[in-house]
Amino acid sequence: MDQKPTINAINAIIELTALFTRRPGPDAPVDAVAEWYQAKGRMHEQLAARGGADAAEESAHAAASYAHARRLTESAA
């Protein structure tokens, strides 16, 4: 049985690719790194919103990404 990927699966692949290719380097400004972690959190939120067996884990990843972004922002202030 040949199954076509769903739009949601394709969007997740696009989001993951964007995160991978736009990941800040070690010398990136703190605000750029914090923005990247915010984007990572949003991606995990979207995955959690789909439900399923991994929803709780994805939600935890989102919370951890947002918390890390907040710590970075606070440390830069």
pLDDT value of residue 5: 58
- Which long-range contacts (C-beta less than 8 Å, at least 24 apart) are formed by 41-45? 41/65, 41/66, 41/69, 43/12, 43/15, 43/16, 43/19
At residue 13, does pLDDT exceed 90? no
Half-sphere exposure of 20 (CA within 13 A, CB side): 6
Q: Any idea where the domains of the chain sit in the sequence?
A: 7-76
pTM: 0.83
Q: Which of 9-18, 46-55, 60-69 has the highest mean pLDDT?
A: 60-69
At residue 31, does pLDDT exceed 90? yes
Residue whose token pair is 């789909």:
50
